[in-house]
Amino acid sequence: MGREEDRTTVGVVGCGYWGPNHIRNMLSLEASGTVHMKAAVDPDPARRLRIRDLYPQIEVSDGVAAVFSDPDVDAVVLSTPTGTHFRLAGEALRAGKHVLVEKPLATSIAHCEELIRLAAEHELVLMVGHTFEYTAAVNTIQGLVAEGALGEVLYVRSLRVNLGLHRRDVNVLWDLAPHDISIIRFVLDAEPTHVTASGNANVTAGIEDIVSLNLHFGEKAMANVIVSWLDPRKVREMTFVGTRKMLVYDDVAAAEKIRIFDKGVDRPSEYDSFGEFPFAYRYGDILSPKLDDYEPLREQSSHFIDCIRLGKRPRSDGESGLAVVRALAAAQISLRNDGRKVALADPAVLDVEGSGAPPFAD
């Protein structure tokens, strides 16, 4: 183990659903001598009691001041409601703390840009919890696409649905689609240029619980993403259609999360208007590659600590968080305008503020 002064001291803000997982993973990093999981914050007494029972060694408080003003604390993890990200991350950065914040980074482009600016000014790490970018499955897919194993990716289809918590502070687009957008950007290594989105608010007026989102990547590729809180089964399934191979990624499968289909259609080299169906179909083997078995949140926590200690830029940095918010903001405009196609470069995207929820629900 390293000396105490060598360790990165961490505070976790928000002990609801994800917070305790952050604490547990940071604690498991203590064994390597690089981390000291010191403090946790939550306004809710029951949650604080639960943390104390489980981990009596951690300092628990009811407000962020105790952590943000503690000179021992080097870094904070924010797992708080979306609407608080901008304010809390800003305070933490201004207090000189490295910040890992849950997705989405903030609820407007301007807020994202301000956080990026603050991190740069104070020379601090700003990282967004795009957790799927730290899974073995998504990294395997990204590697396959990068090395051309699928050929050119023409189409991505994603289904992320379940009977879910109907939130008041964000709609299902802002709640679930950040995962899809961050995965697709990471795998394709490309930015969407246009989006269309349609949806319905079935349970709470004004808050969509079902959204169908199309991401267009210029003329190159298209992705369809369906997110829903109103579905009988939990489905987390993405299909990547390439010119050479196709891939299905089923995140809820216990085994064979990824299957690569040696299937495809070979386009004729030149268009032959006389011949019929001059395509060669390929139906080949199916390969399910072995994936490393680790907890993605631990990989993400470890990456955050590495970036702090080695002065590296995180894979899911502020710019990445901004790109996801830009796509969400454009989709939000489409969603509220009959599904019309919205360019991410459209100036109206800059004006989107909020996260799909009506103001009174803040």
Contacts of 155 (CB under 8 A, 6+ apart): 221, 222, 223, 224, 239, 240, 241
Q: Give the strand order in the sheet containing 258-266.
A: 258-266, 246-250, 235-242, 153-161, 221-228, 210-217, 194-200, 342-343
Segment interacting with a copy of itself (CB under 8 A) among 109-117, 119-127, 244-252, 315-323: 244-252
Q: How far apart are CA 309 and CA 7, in angstroms?
A: 9
Q: Which of residues 34-53 bind a copy of itself (CB under 8 A)?
A: 53
Query: Which residue, 4 or 121, is less far from a copy of itself as judged by CB?
Result: 4
**165 lines the binding site for a copy of itself (CB under 8 A):** yes
CA nearest neighbour of 82 among 172, 194, 208? 172
Q: Which helix (H) or strand (E) holds 200?
A: strand 194-200
Query: Which residue, 61 or 162, is less far from a copy of itself as judged by CB?
Result: 162
**84 lines the binding site for a copy of itself (CB under 8 A):** no
Q: How far apart are CA 63 and CA 291, in angstroms?
A: 40
Segment interacting with a copy of itself (CB under 8 A) among 109-117, 180-188, 259-267, 307-315: 259-267
Query: Which residue, 181 or 246, is less far from a copy of itself as judged by CB?
Result: 246
Segment interacting with a copy of itself (CB under 8 A) among 90-98, 121-129, 284-292, 294-302: 284-292
Shortest gap between Cβ of 271 and a copy of itself (angstroms)? Answer: 7
Query: Which residue, 5 or 270, is less far from a copy of itself as judged by CB?
Result: 270
The site that binds a copy of itself (CB under 8 A) totals a number of residues, namely: 75
* Single residue of 168, 244, 298, 315 touching a copy of itself by CB under 8 A: 168
**65 lines the binding site for a copy of itself (CB under 8 A):** no
The answer to whether the CB of 207 falls within 8 A of the CB of 166 is: yes
- In Å, the largest CA–CA distance within the chain is 77
**222 lines the binding site for a copy of itself (CB under 8 A):** yes
Q: How far apart are CA 15 and CA 261, in angstroms?
A: 42
Segment interacting with a copy of itself (CB under 8 A) among 74-82, 128-136, 151-159, 313-321: 151-159
Query: Which residue, 281 or 347, is less far from a copy of itself as judged by CB?
Result: 281
**200 lines the binding site for a copy of itself (CB under 8 A):** yes
Query: Which residue, 208 or 317, is less far from a copy of itself as judged by CB?
Result: 208
Q: Which helix (H) or strand (E) holds 308?
A: helix 296-310
Query: Which residue, 66 or 235, is less far from a copy of itself as judged by CB?
Result: 235
For helices 109-122 and 318-335, give the axis angle rounded to 10 degrees: 170
**139 lines the binding site for a copy of itself (CB under 8 A):** no
Q: Which of residues 308-347 bind a copy of itself (CB under 8 A)?
A: 338-341
Alpha-carbon distance values, 122 to 94, 116, 118, 126, 213 (Å): 7, 10, 6, 10, 37
* Single residue of 286, 295, 296, 336 touching a copy of itself by CB under 8 A: 286
* Single residue of 224, 296, 306, 319 touching a copy of itself by CB under 8 A: 224
- CB-based burial label for 114 (10 Å; 0-12, 13-18, 19+): middle
Q: Specify the DSSP class assigned to residue 311.
A: T
Q: How far apart are CA 72 and CA 74, in angstroms?
A: 6
**54 lines the binding site for a copy of itself (CB under 8 A):** yes
* Single residue of 276, 310, 311, 359 touching a copy of itself by CB under 8 A: 276
* Single residue of 65, 163, 280, 350 touching a copy of itself by CB under 8 A: 163
**280 lines the binding site for a copy of itself (CB under 8 A):** no
The answer to whether the CB of 269 falls within 8 A of the CB of 279 is: no
Sign of CA pseudo-dihedral 328, 333, 334, 335? positive
Segment interacting with a copy of itself (CB under 8 A) among 119-127, 179-187, 282-290, 314-322: 282-290
SS3 237: strand
* Single residue of 290, 312, 345, 348 touching a copy of itself by CB under 8 A: 290
